[in-house]
Chain A
Amino acid sequence: MGIHMKQKLIVAVLICIGITVFSSCKDSNVISIGVNAELTGSIPVAGKSCVNAAKMAAAEINDQGGIAVDGKTMRVEILAEDNEDKAESAAAVAQKFVSKGVVAMIGPNASRNAVPAAIVAESNKLIMISPWSTIPKLTEKKKYIYRSCFTDDFQGVVVSSFIYKKLKARRAAVLFDITSEYNKGIAEVFKAEFIKAGGAVTAFESYSTGDKDFSAQLSKIKASRADVLFLPNYYNEVPLQIQQARQQGLKGMIVGSDSWGSEEILTLGKDIMNGLYFTTHYAPDMATEKAKKFIADYEAKYGAKPDDVAALTYDAFGMLFESVKKAKSRNPENVLAELSKLSNFPGVTGTMKFSSGSGSPVKSAVVIQIRDNAFKYYDTVNP
C-alpha cells in the first residue's frame, strides 16, 4: 500500500471517528427523548405517524417555551431512530438510547419490537412508553415500562363480544402470525374468550411473518365451516389474506383488530375491505373537542389525518411531558416517580385510568366499519 493511500485511509477513518464522536456529544440544555420507530420494514406508515406526532408534540411544547427543569427552561429534542421493524434492531436502538442518556424512549409500536426493547429498557432503567403495543406482557412485572393504549386482555374480550353478540355468530376461525408476539397473543385471548362465551373456534391456523400464500390454511378454514374469520394481523398482510379467502369461496364476515388501524390498508386492499369491521383505539370522525384540535393541527402540519398510532404517540408524549413538568427534573428516577403517580390522564384517544403499579391504562375501545373505502365509526365499548 503506497504512502498516499495509507494516509488517505487514516484520514478517512479519523473523519468517521470524528463524526461519531461529534454526534455523541450531548447538548446539555435539552430534554432528549428517543423515538424507536418502524420507519422501514413492513409497517413504515405506523413508524412515520409515530415520528410525525412526536415532532409535533415537541414543537408544540417548545413553542410554549419548553419545560422548566433543574432550575432552567429547556427545549425538548427528539432523537428518532429506525428499528427497521426488526426485533433485534429495536433492542439495539434501545441500547443506543441507553448509552446516549435520553430521558425516556417512546416506542416501538409493534409488539414484536416493543417486547425486546422493553426488556432492554427495564434492565437499564430507561423509561419507555409504547404508543401502540397492546400485548399484556409488555408491562407485566416492570417498573419502567408504560403504554398509552389498552391491552389485548381487554381487546380480545371486545372482539369476542362483538362477534358473539353483535354479529351473532357462533363458529369462528382465526388465521394469525405465530411468529409475531401481538398476533399470537391476541389470537389466544380471543380463542379463550369466545369459547368462554359459548362459541366454537372451528379453526385456529397460523403462518410465519413474510408468508404470502395462505391457501393451505384457508382451505382448512373453509372446510371447518366457520361463520366469521378473525384476522388479527398487520395492515400489509391482511389484504392478501382477505383476497385469497374470497378466492377460495369464503363468503362470511371478516373481523380485524387494532393492527388494521392504518388507512394504508384501504390503499392496499381497495374494495375487498368494504363492509368489514375491526376494533381500534380511536375514530377520527367521532372525536372529542380535544381530539378535534389535535386532528386539525396534525392535518395542517402534515397534510393527512392522523391515524391511531399518531394519536397514541401524542398521548404518550402528553403523559411524559406532564411527568417531567411535575418532577421539574430530567433525572429519569424523578420522572418515573411522577409517572407512576399518574392516575387519570385525559388524552386525545380518550381518558386513561392508571391503577397504582401498572403501566397499562384502562380505556375504551371503538369498533370501526369500513364503508365506501373509508373508516366509519360504529360503536364504543367501555371497560
Chain B
Amino acid sequence: MIVQQALNALQLGSIYALIALGYSMVYGVLRLINFAHGDIFMIGSYAALFLAVYLNMPIALILPLAFCAVGLLGVTIERLAYRPLRTAPRASAVITALGVGLFLETITLAVVGPEPKKFPALIDLNIITIGAFTATNIQIIIIAVSIALMTALDRLIAKTKTGMAMRALSWDKTYAPLFGINVDKIISFTFAIGAGLAAVAGIFVGLAYPIIDPYMGIIVGWKAFVSAVIGGIGNVKGAVVGGFLLGAVEILSAAFLPSTYKDMIVFGLLLIILLFRPSGLFGVPVQKKV
C-alpha cells in the first residue's frame, strides 16, 4: 500500500513542482507573487484539449506546442499587465495579478462554457501489475518527463549565460544592467519558461484526471504557491522539494485520515515550517538595510 501511495505522491508532487517553479522563478526576478499562475496552468490544459480535439494532434506535438503557446501568453501578460507596474506600489501589482487570474478564469468560462470537459486519452492506458500493486504508464510518464524538465531547467540556470543572467537579476535588479544584462528580455524569458512549465503540468493533470473545468487552477495554484514558499520562494531547487513534499503530505494524509482534514494538515505544515525556518527550507533571509 505504501508503495502504491508513494507513486501517487510522486505524480502529484511532480505536478505541484512544475507549477511551483513558475512562482519561484518569477518571484526571484520580479519580487512579484504571480497570482495568475494557477490559471495559466488551467489554460495549458484547455490549450492541449483544443489542440487534441480540433487539430487532432498527437501528444508528442501537443506538449511542445502548448509549452510555446502558453509561454507566449505568459510573456504577453507580463508585457501588458506587470511591466507598467514595476515602479508602482506592491499592492497594485498584486491586485493586478489577481485581476488577470480572474480574467483568465472567466474568459475561459465564457468561451468554453460552464460544463466540465473530458480531456482526451492521448496516451493509451497500460496498467502494470507487479505483485500486489498496480501502476499506470501515465504515472510513470508524468514522473519521468517532469524530472527530465526540472533537470533541464537546473542545467539552464546553472550552466548557461541566460541562466546566469537570471540568477544575477534575482540577486540585485538595480546593478544587473551594468553588466550588460537586458532586464526586460530576461524577465520575459523567465515568464515564458514558468508559464510553459505550468502548461505541461496542466497537460499532465488532464492525462491523470481527465475531467477539466475553468476553476481547476484556483486550488492547485494556491497549493503550488505553498510549495514554492515551503521551499523558499525564489529558490528553484526549493520549489521542486516543496512540490514533492506537499504531494507526499497530501496523499499520505488522505490515505490515513478523512480527506476533509487535508487542507488543515497541508497549511498547518506550512505554518510550522515557516515558524522554524521563516524563509522556507532553502530560502535565504533577506537582509534589510537601514
Contact = CB atoms under 8 A, between A and B. Distances in A.
**Do chains A and B make direct contact within the complex (CB under 8 angstroms)?**
yes
B39 interface: no
Interface stretch (A73-81, A98-106, A203-211, A336-344): A203-211
A137 interface: no
B210 interface: yes
Interface string B246-290: 000001001100111010000000000000000000000000000
A362 to B, nearest CB: 33
A348 to B, nearest CB: 24
B12 interface: yes
A247 B125 contact: yes
B67 to A, nearest CB: 23
Contact of A45 (B115, B211, B260): B115
Contacts of B54: none
A270 interface: yes
A161 interface: no
B127 interface: yes
Q: Which has the most chain B C-beta neighbours within 10 Å: A41, A208, A216, A247?
A: A216
A264 B115 contact: yes
A202 to B, nearest CB: 17
A249 B133 CA distance: 9
Contact of B211 (A206, A216, A268): A268
Contact of B114 (A40, A179, A207): A40
A224 interface: no
Interface in B187-238: 209-211, 213, 219
Interface string A19-51: 000000000000000000001111011000000
Contacts of B91: none
A213 B5 contact: no
Contacts of B8: 213, 215-216
A268 to B, nearest CB: 5
A86 to B, nearest CB: 11
B118 A216 contact: no
Interface string A193-235: 0000000000000111011110111010001000000000000
Contacts of B60: none
Q: Dominant SS at the B interface?
A: mixed
A350 interface: no
Given A216-B254, A239-B211, A267-B118, A210 B4 contact: no
Nearest to B212: A212
Contacts of A243: 210
B178 interface: no
Interface string B116-138: 11100000010101000010100
Contact of A219 (B1, B127, B211): B1
A249 B115 contact: no
Interface in A273-318: none
A39 B114 contact: yes
B109 interface: yes
A240 B208 CA distance: 9
Contacts of B260: 178-179, 206, 208
A380 interface: no
13 contacts: A206-B258, A208-B259, A211-B259, A213-B8, A216-B8, A216-B259, A219-B4, A219-B5, A243-B210, A247-B134, A264-B115, A267-B118, A268-B211
Given A239-B210, A247-B134, 9 more contacts: A40-B109, A211-B259, A212-B209, A219-B4, A236-B211, A240-B211, A248-B134, A267-B118, A269-B118
